[in-house]
Structures are given as structure tokens and as C-alpha cells.
Amino acid sequence: MPIRDLLLGLFVIVIWALNIIVIKVGVAELPPLLMMTLRFTLVAVLLVPFYPVARAQLPFLLLLSITFGSLHFALLFIGLEHAEAGTGALLVQMGTPFATLLAVIFLKEKLGPKRIVGLLLSFAGVVVLAGGPTLPSPLPLAILLCSAMGWAVSQLLIKRGPPIAPMALAGWVALFAVPQVALGSWLFESGQWQAIQQATWLGWGAMIYTAVMSSIVAYGIWYALLRRHPVNRVVPMTLLVPVLAVGLGALLMGDSLGVHKLVGGGLVIAGIALIVIRFRRRNR
């Protein structure tokens, strides 16, 4: 990969890793579902007018807005409100093992020895994390794992669904997700108007960052890289996201770096690496 594209890929990884920290900052001032409502609204306003889709694609996008918008993103914001940034980033990475298992069950994909070892290492990492003091209480833990499952289900839907331009998909999923998360905020949260009035530039900046930088800029660059290079050269870079998130959490948020987090996180990342990286035999 040329140095320019490699640096672009690393720039995207930094944006996504910092996004975990930014979400933590945002939900400290804005209720999670309210922040998601504002985020999705901004993404939809910026993308939908410029990326029209066919009417036949709308039911698929509506379904994806439930799994990707409400289940993955909304639960991620809720879970991170009660978890350390690094630990939350590691738990959400379980979406890859979940997607692998779902592909075996529903798409009849074969599971080779390497991927089996990867799955075992990933789940072993979660067990190690569970023995440490940084793991959130059972409810936030379940919420973050459900967020990972929402991501996994969404990947299978995208794989089997109609071909839609990435920016169009992001915009229309956000549009359909707005009423869902807004209803959730109305039912389960309180003090939304007071939070909007009292939010500082940190809260508003966090919302704008997650919408513009993470959802639009980062994904725009990422899909451009996927068009120019083989998937196996681009996707493994995402393994750096939880590593950077753990480091940034310790540096910026004062998160702990205990043995359980380092060992458990290492097992999770090693397992995901075995799942996503394809090793080729070289001829002598």
C-alpha cells in the first residue's frame, strides 16, 4: 500500500479510536439517546439530499436502521455511559466473532481451524476481562455485547442485501433511525431540554464529531481505500482501534491499565486477527 493510503488508513483508525473517547465526553452532558437523535439528524441532513436511493431499497434500509442504528449505535452510546472507554471498545470488538458465528449458522460458511482458534481466543479474552475490576456491571456489559451483536447482524444484512453506495446507506439509515431513538429518548430519558440548554461546547462538539468525523469523513476515506486495495490489506488495520482506544482512555480519561485489561484485550485482538487476516503460503 502506498504511504499516502497507509497514512489515510491510520488517520481513519485514529478518528474511530478517538470517537470512543468523544462519546464518553458527549454522554456526560447529553443523555445517550438524545445525543443519538441529534447525531442521526445531522448525518441525515448532510447526506440524504445528495444520495438518493431507489424506492425498492427503502424496506431494506428501514430494517438496517433497526439493527445498525438502534441496536448497535444507540446501545453503544448507552453502554459507554457506564463503562470505561477502553473496556467498551474491546467489548464492542466482539461484533466480529459474533458475525463469524452468525455467518456459519445462517449463511452456511465454513469455519476452519484458524477461525475456531480465533473465536476461542476472543471469548477467552472476554472471560479474562470479566475477572478484572474495569468490567462494567452486568447491565452495561450486556448492553455493550448486544451492541456488538447488532453490528454483527447488520454486517450479514449488508452482505446479503442490495448494493447501496456507502454514503447513501449511512444517510438513509440515519434518517430512519431518528424517530426510533427519539421515541426511546422520550420514553426512557428525562431533562432533555435542560440538557440541550446546559450543554457546553464539549457536548455539542462531541455530537458533531461523531456525526461528521466518524460517520462521514472516516467512512468516506475508508470505502475509498477499499475500492483501491484488497480487503485483506485494509481491514486488519481496524485491529488498532481498540488498542488506541485503550491507550487514549488511559491518557485522556484516566482509565486504569490493569493486567486483566491488557491480557484480556490482547486475547480479544489476537482472536479477531486470526478471524479477519488471511495468511497466504509463499512459494519458495
| pLDDT (mean) for 127-152 | 79
pLDDT for the residue numbered 242: 85
- List the one residue out of 74, 41, 242, 45 whose CA is nearest residue 151: 74
Task: Kindly state the average pLDDT of the residues 251-262.
Answer: 79
Cell numbers for 209, please give them.
464529531
Q: What is the mean pLDDT of residues 40-55?
A: 95
284 pLDDT more than 50: no
| Measured CA angle at 130 (ends 127, 134), to 5 deg | 140
Whole-model pTM? 0.86
- Is-contact 35 259, C-beta < 8 A? no
More confident residue, 125 or 230: 125
CA distance 28 to 82: 10
Model pLDDT, residue 255: 77
pLDDT given at position 48? 96
Cell of 275: 478471524
pLDDT at 283 over 60: no
% residues pLDDT > 90 (the chain): 41
What's the pLDDT at 96? 83
Q: At CA 30, angle to CA 29 and CA 36, rounded to 5?
A: 145
Quick one: which of 48, 26, 49 has its CA closest to 38? 26
Residue found under cell 460458511: 109
pLDDT of residue 134: 57
- pLDDT tens, position by position, 48-82: 999 999 999 999 999 999 999 889 999 999 988 88
